[in-house]
């Protein structure tokens, strides 16, 4: 997974996965992507960066279940206007955390403060599977380029290296997993 330079094969797969969309008409273009990055003080990881610039800024067909939201948008079930979101501050987690079941994985931190950081720091929200099960792409911090599912009970990373799934990590692996029609958590 190269998050600094777009892989032509990954971009071809992304174009194929979203071929039934608008043929790139909804893509933001590079000027808009650079303006978003400057405003939020965070560089988007590849291949998502090229995806929103050249292929599509959102899609009704998914992933996830209710479609891929645009770069500057939030899913309809988000609950607030997103004003507290700060992409420049690092996403705080490096491993799965079910806050309903275990203490905060980082000593000397208030669990509620860390949950707030998970929801609002260092990630763009890609969309929802409903019931506050949102997919995030980490743009800042040690997990940059990784996809995380964040729910009301916890957060876990996506990709075979983390368990739960057999697919490659990152945006291209996440889309390929969806395009193959696999269940999100297909690892036994």
The 3 state secondary structure assigned to 150-174 is ECCCCEEECCHHHCCCCCCCHHHHH
Structural tokens at position 175: 């889309």
Structural tokens at position 71: 């770069």
| Residue 20 pLDDT level (bands cut at 50, 70, 90) | low
Quickly count helices (H) and strands (E) in the chain.
5, 4
How many domains, in total, are found in the chain?
1
Any idea what the CATH number is for the domain that residue 46 is in? 3.40.1580
Average pLDDT of the chain is 90
Instruction: Say if 47 falls within a structural domain.
Output: yes
Instruction: Say if 186 falls within a structural domain.
Output: no
**pLDDT over 70 at 49, yes or no:** yes
Instruction: Say if 1 falls within a structural domain.
Output: no
E strands, the chain, where? 123-128, 134-138, 147-150, 155-157
pLDDT of amino acid 18: 86
Instruction: Say if 137 falls within a structural domain.
Output: yes
**pLDDT over 90 at 42, yes or no:** yes
Q: Which domain holds residue 16?
A: 8-73+85-179
pLDDT (tens digit, 9 = 90+) per residue, 150-168? 999 999 999 999 988 999 9
Instruction: Say if 78 falls within a structural domain.
Output: no
| Residue 137 pLDDT level (bands cut at 50, 70, 90) | very high
What is the average per-residue pLDDT within 62-72?
90
Which of 147, 114, 124 minimizes the C-alpha distance to 43? Answer: 124
Burial class for 154, CB neighbours closer than 10 Å (0-12, 13-18, 19+) = middle
Instruction: Say if 80 falls within a structural domain.
Output: no
Q: Which of 31-45, 98-112, 139-153 has the lowest mean pLDDT?
A: 98-112
Instruction: Say if 187 falls within a structural domain.
Output: no
Cα 60 from chain centroid (whole Å): 16
């Amino acid at each position: 997974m190269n998050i600094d330079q777009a892989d032509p094969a990954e971009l071809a797969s992304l174009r194929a996965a979203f071929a039934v969309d608008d043929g790139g008409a909804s893509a933001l273009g590079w000027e808009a992507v650079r303006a978003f990055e400057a405003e939020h003080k965070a560089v988007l990881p590849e291949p998502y960066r090229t995806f929103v610039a050249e292929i599509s800024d959102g899609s009704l067909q998914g992933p996830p279940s209710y479609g891929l939201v645009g770069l500057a948008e939030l899913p309809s079930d988000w609950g607030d206007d997103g004003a507290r979101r700060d992409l420049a501050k690092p996403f705080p987690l490096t491993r799965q955390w079910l806050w309903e079941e275990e203490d905060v994985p980082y000593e000397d931190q208030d669990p509620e403060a860390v949950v707030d950081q998970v929801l609002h720091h260092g990630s763009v929200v890609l969309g929802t599977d409903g019931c506050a099960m949102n997919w995030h792409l980490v743009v800042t911090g040690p997990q940059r380029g990784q996809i995380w599912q964040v729910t009301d009970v916890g957060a876990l990373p996506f990709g075979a290296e983390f368990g739960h799934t057999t697919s490659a990590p990152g945006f291209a692996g996440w889309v390929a997993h969806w395009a193959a029609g696999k269940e999100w958590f297909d690892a036994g």
